[in-house]
Chains A and B, each alone.
Chain A
């Protein structure tokens, strides 16, 4: 396998983008990444999107994007893996380049969520769960995460205020990110006073409904210097793992084994260990998910996840900054875009281009992107 580098990234500010269609989102992010890399052509594209059919009645998104970019005859593939669609699209693009099948690959993640009502959006997100045996009885996506949160809080004595501290930290980071949907700080009190969506999760424990897209350009590392003036960021490891789609079938409700396994696989491929990571983007679709992911990836010890944010361990100036972009919580979570947007942040950090939220001297970063309530997880490791 060839070593693969990211030579360009692009993203537009996430939010409720009424004036932009799914097509507009995909094209804008793609053009930004192509400009950033400074390449003239691409050989193939992969787009990750969870539910363009349900959200916008548009399937065949890969073809739509190739056409709209004027990239005509290139092969174009759509990847779907619920909220991990973007991360899995990145892995697919990586495999195309690593295998020698393609030279320059455009990877895009996108989702247009605000063309449907809030209720329809809730129902669409629930399709990431087991439709006939979870969604059937009225379980929602926040509801399933809430059941993990309750099990975790009861087992480890974690509190709602500790969960809220994750949201507070990520909003503080998002306030420094011009591409974040919410660029405002919040307090623990505000989180605890916000309305309950699915007990024990408040609305401010949840990532928002967002429109958005992010993109990156991959090429063989050995050709990076010739193809682009940008400092290449190598993807040194990738790991992907699955688990039962239904939460109720997991032996231990406080564990997300797919995250652990995906991280172990990525660390093994990269020849790295958790303590080597200097900056990480974790899938904080809900505050509890950042806590669980910290433990599963191995950044903190088991049962210690809830104490990390209140103690400042994962803060921007802490020993291991997590979700410097603002995370899904504050940057926004257009579901299919998220995995690629996480890569966008880590690439900026490793290039030293993250501005006021720059982690000084960061050379090794990690992204973790999850589908469903832990049914799928994909981890990438990046090195400058």
Chain B
């Protein structure tokens, strides 16, 4: 059921909810049930830092069907200012403007639409910090 699948991730996708391990302090996105750094299972919900930087990136020119209208688009590994890592599209940037180390901010955007059901999934994309 695609509706449930999109809905159950709402706290991560809409609010950028991450989990801070009470054992070692590491922030995980998405939240986990077991910390892969210390094997702890006691977490508190935190919001991801809104700004961070690009660690590596690519321009997707051969996209999967759900992203056919958007190609070429940039996808990047991000390190947020709280140390958490995530992957996101980088929007509002031309391919030739992409740089490793670039500062970005997360913005709430439409991510994709699911097949015939037409369910729209929202989430966060990164945009360059001016």
Contacts and interface: CB of A to CB of B under 8 A. Distances in A.
A137 B85 CA distance: 14
Nearest to A251: B85
B58 A147 contact: yes
B64 A119 contact: yes
A121 to B, nearest CB: 9
A120 B87 contact: no
Given A150-B100, A154-B100, A248-B77, A138 B56 contact: no
Interface of B: 9, 29-30, 36, 55-68, 70, 73, 75-78, 85-89, 95, 100, 111-112, 121, 123, 125
A233 B76 CA distance: 45
A199 B70 CA distance: 16
Given A123-B65, A140-B63, A244 B58 contact: no
A328 to B, nearest CB: 18
B87 A133 contact: yes
Contacts of A132: 9, 30
A131 to B, nearest CB: 10
Contacts of B73: 138
Interface stretch (A34-42, A190-198, A263-271): A190-198
B89 to A, nearest CB: 5
A249 interface: yes
Contacts of A138: 60, 63-64, 66-67, 70, 73, 75, 89, 111-112
Given A147-B56, A150-B56, A151-B55, A140 B123 contact: no
A247 B73 CA distance: 19
A103 B118 CA distance: 53
Given A143-B75, A196-B61, 12 more contacts: A119-B63, A123-B65, A126-B64, A138-B64, A138-B73, A142-B58, A146-B58, A147-B58, A196-B59, A198-B62, A246-B87, A248-B55
A199 B59 contact: yes
Given A146-B58, A253-B56, A123 B36 contact: no
B38 to A, nearest CB: 15
A34 to B, nearest CB: 39
B64 A137 contact: no
A253 B87 contact: no
Contacts of A118: 62
B113 to A, nearest CB: 12
A134 interface: yes
B30 A247 contact: no
Contacts of B78: 248
Nearest to B100: A154
A200 B61 CA distance: 11
B100 A198 contact: no
Contacts of B121: 136
Main secondary structure of the interface of B (DSSP, over half): strand
Contact of B64 (A122, A154, A247, A253): A122
A253 B57 CA distance: 11
9 contacts: A133-B87, A138-B66, A147-B58, A150-B58, A154-B56, A247-B87, A248-B55, A248-B85, A249-B36
Contacts of B86: 133, 248
A60 B88 CA distance: 35
B30 A143 contact: no
Most chain B CB within 10 A, of A120, A122, A133, A248, is at: A248
Interface in A203-236: none
Given A199-B95, A249-B85, A137 B62 contact: no
A118 B61 CA distance: 13
A138 B72 CA distance: 11
Nearest to A243: B36
B65 A137 contact: no
A158 interface: no
A120 B95 CA distance: 25
A135 interface: yes
B64 A140 contact: yes
A139 interface: yes
Interface string A105-143: 000000000000011101100100000111111111011
B64 A199 contact: no
Contact of A139 (B30, B68, B87, B95): B87
B87 to A, nearest CB: 5
A126 B66 CA distance: 12
A47 interface: no
A144 B77 CA distance: 9
A330 to B, nearest CB: 20
